[in-house]
Amino acid sequence: MSYKYDLHCHTGKVSMCGKVEPKRIVELYKQNGYSGIVLTDHYSELTFYNRHLFHPQKEMDFYLSAYRELKEYCSGDEDFTVLLGVELRRYAHTADFLIYGIDEDFLLDCGNMMAWSDKTLYSKVHEAGGLVFMAHPFRWYIRDRDENTIDGIEVFNGKNSPGRNRKAHEWAQKTGKLVSSGSDFHRECDVAKGGIETETKISSNADLLSVLESGNFNLIENY
C-alpha cells in the first residue's frame, strides 16, 4: 500500500494569496486519494502586511490559526495527517524556503524569522531537528540560490513551468541535495498536482523527515 502527501499547501485563512478555507482543503485532498498534507502558509510581509510591528505571540496565534483549525477538524482521523510547515520569505530577499519538521513551540519561541540570515535560518531549523528546502528555485524573480544553507530543493512545483522544474531537477542532481515535490496549492484547481508517494505512512514530523532523508518515495508531478 502506498500513501500520498502534498508538501506545499496554503490556506485562504492565513496566506493572503490563498483562496480555499482549511476544511475544504482536507475534503479536496481526500477526494484525490491523499493521506495528508504539510501546511506551509506564507510567513512573509504579505501575510503580516497590516502589522507595523512584529509581536511574536500575537502574530503566531494568527499564523497558526489555520493549522490549529485543521488539527481540530482532523482529530481522531487516522487516515489523514496534517503537519505544520512554513514557506518563509525574509526581508529584502527573493528566495522562498520550505521548512519541515518544526512545531508550534518553535514558531512561538523563535522571534521574527523574516529578519534571519541564510546561516541563522539553517542553524536554528537544524537545532530544532528540522530541514530547510528551497521552494521553486528557478521562478523568475528568484536571484539568490545558496546551496550551502539548504538541505533540499523543491524539484517539482505545481505552479511552475516544466522548464523551471527541469532546472530545479538539474540543480538537485548537481548538488546532491534532497528533493521534494509540492502542488503549491492556493486554489481548488491546484489540488493534487504535486507531493510524494511512499510506502511509509507519515503520521508525525519524525516520519516525514525520515522519508525525505531516505529518499524512499516517488515524486508526484502532475501538470
**Cell, residue 31:** 477526494
In this structure, what CATH number is given to the domain that contains residue 203? 3.20.20.140
Q: What stretch of H or E contains 122?
A: helix 118-127
Question: Where in the sequence is the domain holding 61, given as residue range(s)?
Answer: 3-221
CA 76 to chain centre: 23
What integer is the mean pLDDT of 78-100? Answer: 95
Kindly tell me the burial class for residue 58, based on how many C-beta atoms sit within 10 Å of its own C-beta (0-12, 13-18, 19 or more). exposed
pLDDT band at 50 (very low <50, low <70, confident <90, very high): low
- Phi then psi dihedrals of residue 82, to 5 deg: -120, 120
**Cell, residue 20:** 480555499
Question: Percent of the chain scored above 70 by pLDDT?
Answer: 96
Task: Tally the domains of the chain.
Answer: 1
Judged against a pLDDT cut of 90, whether residue 16 lies above it is answered with no
Judged against a pLDDT cut of 90, whether residue 23 lies above it is answered with yes
pLDDT 10s digits, 131-177? 999 999 999 888 878 999 999 999 999 999 999 999 999 999 999 99
What integer is the mean pLDDT of 64-88? Answer: 96
pLDDT 10s digits, 109-134? 998 899 999 999 999 999 999 999 99
Taking residue 145's Cβ as centre, other Cβ atoms within 10 Å add up to 15
Those residues whose C-beta lies under 8 Å from the C-beta of residue 209, and which sit 6 or more positions away, are 100, 101, 129, 130, 131
